Amino acid sequence: MAEETKKEEVNVEETTATQETKKEVSVKEANPEKFLEDFNWHNYEEGIEVIDDKKLEEFEKLVAENFVDTLDDEVVEGVVVHMTDRDAIIDINAKSEGVISLNEFRYNPDLKVGDKVEVLIDVREDSTGQLVLSHRKARTIKAWDRVNEAHDKGTIVNGYVKCRTKGGMIVDVFGIEAFLPGSQIDVKPIRDYDAYVGKTMEFKVVKINHEFKNVVVSHKALIEADIEEQKKEIIGQLEKGQVLEGVVKNITSYGVFVDLGGVDGLVHITDLSWSRINHPNEIVELDQTLNVVILDFDEDKTRIQLGLKQLNPHPWEALSSDLKIGDKVKGKVVVIADYGAFIEVADGVEGLIHVSEMSWSTHLRSAQDFVNVGDEVEAVILTLDREERKMSLGIKQLTPDPWTDITSKFPVGSRHKGVVKNFTNFGVFVELEEGIDGLIYISDLSWTKKIKHPSEFTNVGDTLEVVVLELDVEGRKLSLGHKQTEENPWDKYEAEFALGTKHTAKVTELVDKGATVEFNEDVVAFVPARHLEKEDGSKLGKGEEAEFQIIEFNKEFKRVVASHTVIFREEEAKILKEAVKKQADTAAESKPTLGDANEKLQALKDQMDSKK
């Protein structure tokens, strides 16, 4: 009976438990959130209530379906459920709510309860059992995902220009600092980078370096596609001679680049003005709107040559028809070359003054010796070709030709003073007056000095006294001499240093094959080595004084040769001659034998040898 009662109680308990379980399952299925909210976690954790395995499995399945797995490092979306002065409480549908410092939301000062934010679980549970979340890390991860996606798909992103940096700008894209090169800001050169700081602009992600976490963006790439379409449309309509309106985009030393509305053309510096200019900025300035004419373009029409001056008539067409050869004109020197100078006589009309037309002198110099750039000069028209648009001018024609009365002003033999103007290897050019030059050959500079180059004798700018030696009127040539202004000292030396004359002097220098002896400042004699021998058999040395006899004198070549040896050799010959004569006289008186005569001659020879 007791056993039956126990069985009935057990059956009742099982039936009650089963009913409660069924009731809980029905509640769970009908409202899982309500079930989880009412679930007695304390009894479950303490093991007060016994849960069968099937019910536990269903419970774990329900938890897995409705709660976030906090072991995952994936970015999840949460909702702001509460805010304090320092933190934001975020519900990510986990066992507990997470906390994020408001410092991570500085970029979003308008954050409020109910906003959805992306978060990453930084710490699963702190000491209080609360989740620690990070919005900054989640934002960074998602930012790189978005940047990579934008790069792969070529989509457009918004970015905030934060500041300038070397070579470009720093742009905030999804919280990542990207680099915007200066060349990628716009299709036209940027002159004011600071104007872009603080702006939000559209960009394309053009490059990502995953190793160094670098991102490069471009704004220029967005507008190039539109410009390319505009360019094709514009280029397709181009024709030579067409006049278009454009904006000066860039100025260089060689020309100006003009934006024609998406396609650029170049106006070369020579096509900017009919007048000569040193730099294009004398004519145009940046961002200036102007009309240009198409001069030429290549087959692909990628290089377009433009003109500005062609919009105005050529200045030669406006040149007065009354202007003729022989007329005097005034103009400004615009260009100087060695061969002449270009004179602008009217805007865009130039004439050349050749250097030969600057002076009556036949000794041509550089044009810079006569005029400078910017000088205002008067000239005479020598030639005029309107079809070829060429004009030659002359300055010297403004003054009379000084060679007209040259024979009366500078006759042969007349003495004058002139200024040294130039040197050549063979002589000196001396200007007697403007337009009249003469040449002094190097041999006519000095009677006595041996000159290798004129610079050894005189300097440019020196004044020299000259004598007219020859005059060629037709050839417009004057031959001058400087040494002829003085008497030739060699006329006097010819008698003073005649052959056989003897002079005392010191050996100046020992040279090859002999020595030199300086008799005076003009006469330097050469002594051959064999003529340096002294009576005792030794030779004269440098600085040693001795007597010399002139054995050669050439006035024309100024050559003097002397000898010391010949002096005592002549004395020996004289003594021998006298001795022979005396012997002969004695023999005639005493009539000695031939043997006696030979003995005496041998004795005399021995005596002379001993002297040596």
- Kindly state the percentage of the chain with pLDDT values over 70: 75
DSSP 410-432: S-TT-EEEEEEEEEETTEEEEEE
311 Cβ partners below 8 Å, 6+ apart? 243, 291, 292, 293
Q: Say if residue 26's pLDDT is above 50.
A: no
**Most confident option among 14-28, 29-43, 151-165:** 151-165
**Alpha-carbon radius of gyration of the chain:** 59
CATH code assigned to 76-140: 2.40.50.140
Spatial contact of 447 and 492, defined as CB atoms under 8 Å apart: no
Say how far apart CA 480 and CA 363 lie, in whole Å. 14
Q: Say if residue 291's pLDDT is above 50.
A: yes
Give the model's pLDDT for residue 584.
60
Q: Work out the pLDDT band at 56, boundaries 50, 70, 90.
A: low
Q: Work out the pLDDT band at 577, boundaries 50, 70, 90.
A: low
Query: Could you tell me which residue, 493 or 328, shows the higher pLDDT?
Result: 328
Give the model's pLDDT for residue 277.
84
Q: Say if residue 1's pLDDT is above 70.
A: no
Least confident range of 172-176, 228-232, 433-437:
228-232
Please state the three-class secondary structure of 504-573 as a single string. Answer: EEEEEEEECCEEEEECCCCCEEEEEHHHCECCCCCECCCCCEEEEEEEEEECCCCEEEEECHHHHHHHHH
Least confident range of 7-16, 309-318, 392-401, 551-560:
7-16
φ/ψ of 479, rounded to 5, equals: -105, 125
CA 270, distance to chain mean position in Å, is 23
Q: What are the sequence ranges of the domains in the chain?
A: 2-66, 76-140, 154-223, 236-311, 315-398, 402-485, 489-563, 574-611
Q: Work out the pLDDT band at 98, boundaries 50, 70, 90.
A: confident
Residue located via tokens 């100006």: 256
Please tell me what DSSP assigns to residue 211.
Answer: T
Q: Which of 276, 283, 398 is nearest to 330 (CA)?
A: 398
What is the CB-side half-sphere exposure of residue 140 using CA atoms within 13 A?
7
Give the model's pLDDT for residue 67.
46
Give the model's pLDDT for residue 389.
86
Q: Say if residue 53's pLDDT is above 70.
A: no
Query: Could you tell me which residue, 361 or 507, shows the higher pLDDT?
Result: 507
- Mean pLDDT (whole number) for 267-276: 88
Q: Are strands 415-424 and 436-441 parallel, antiparallel or unpaired?
A: unpaired
Q: Which of 105, 128, 119 is nearest to 73 (CA)?
A: 119
Spatial contact of 155 and 206, defined as CB atoms under 8 Å apart: no
Q: Say if residue 381's pLDDT is above 70.
A: yes
Say how far apart CA 308 and CA 277 lie, in whole Å. 13
Say how far apart CA 150 and CA 86 lie, in whole Å. 34
Q: Work out the pLDDT band at 256, boundaries 50, 70, 90.
A: very high
Give the three-class secondary structure for 458.
Answer: coil
Residue located via tokens 């087959």: 299
Give the model's pLDDT for residue 4.
47
Give the model's pLDDT for residue 480.
92
CATH code assigned to 236-311: 2.40.50.140
φ/ψ of 341, rounded to 5, equals: -135, 145
Q: Say if residue 446's pLDDT is above 70.
A: yes
Q: Say if residue 473's pLDDT is above 90.
A: no
Residue type, 493: Y
Q: Work out the pLDDT band at 16, boundaries 50, 70, 90.
A: very low
Give the three-class secondary structure for 101.
Answer: strand
CATH code assigned to 315-398: 2.40.50.140
Please tell me what DSSP assigns to residue 114.
Answer: T
- Mean pLDDT (whole number) for 131-144: 72
Say how far apart CA 610 and CA 612 lie, in whole Å. 5
Query: Other CB atoms closer than 10 Å to residue 53's CB: what's the count?
Result: 7
- Mean pLDDT (whole number) for 146-155: 80
- Kindly state the percentage of the chain with pLDDT values over 90: 9
Give the model's pLDDT for residue 588.
57
Is 280 buried (19+), middle (13-18) or exposed (0-12) by CB count in 10 A?
buried
Q: Say if residue 549's pLDDT is above 80.
A: yes
b vs e for 114-141, b when ≥16 Cβ sit within 10 Å of the residue's Cβ?
eeebbbbbbeeeeeeeebebbbbbbbbb
Q: Work out the pLDDT band at 28, boundaries 50, 70, 90.
A: very low
Examine domains 402-485 and 489-563 and report if their fold is the same.
yes
φ/ψ of 559, rounded to 5, equals: -110, 125
Q: Say if residue 393's pLDDT is above 90.
A: yes
Give the three-class secondary structure for 225.
Answer: helix
How does pLDDT run across 500-528, given as a tens digit for each residue? 888 888 888 888 889 999 888 778 899 99
Q: Say if residue 322's pLDDT is above 80.
A: yes
Strand ranges, E, within 155-199: 156-165, 168-173, 176-181
In order of 239, 271, 299, the CA distances from 255 in angstroms are 21, 9, 22
Q: Work out the pLDDT band at 173, boundaries 50, 70, 90.
A: confident
Least confident range of 77-81, 100-104, 176-180, 285-289:
100-104
Say how far apart CA 28 and CA 24 lie, in whole Å. 6
Is 331 buried (19+), middle (13-18) or exposed (0-12) by CB count in 10 A?
buried
CATH superfamily of 489-563: Nucleic acid-binding proteins (2.40.50.140)
* Claim: this prediction has a pTM higher than 0.85: no
Query: Could you tell me which residue, 223 or 419, shows the higher pLDDT?
Result: 419
Least confident range of 92-96, 155-159, 194-198, 481-485:
92-96
Average pLDDT over the chain reads: 78
Please tell me what DSSP assigns to residue 303.
Answer: S
Q: Say if residue 204's pLDDT is above 60.
A: yes
Q: Work out the pLDDT band at 25, boundaries 50, 70, 90.
A: very low
CATH architecture for the domain at 154-223: Beta Barrel (2.40)
Say how far apart CA 379 and CA 344 lie, in whole Å. 11
Give the model's pLDDT for residue 22.
44
Q: Say if residue 51's pLDDT is above 60.
A: no
Q: Say if residue 70's pLDDT is above 50.
A: no
DSSP 465-490: EEEEEEEETTTTEEEEESGGGS--HH
Q: Work out the pLDDT band at 499, boundaries 50, 70, 90.
A: confident
Q: Work out the pLDDT band at 12, boundaries 50, 70, 90.
A: very low
Say how far apart CA 406 and CA 479 lie, in whole Å. 13
Domain 402-485 CATH assignment equals 1.20.1050.10:
no
- Mean pLDDT (whole number) for 99-109: 75
Say how far apart CA 120 and CA 561 lie, in whole Å. 116
Give the model's pLDDT for residue 257.
92
- What are the structure tokens assigned to 402, written together? 């000084």
Q: Say if residue 268's pLDDT is above 90.
A: yes
Say how far apart CA 523 and CA 519 lie, in whole Å. 6
Please tell me what DSSP assigns to residue 120.
Answer: E
How does pLDDT run across 401-421, given as a tens digit for each residue? 888 888 888 888 888 888 998
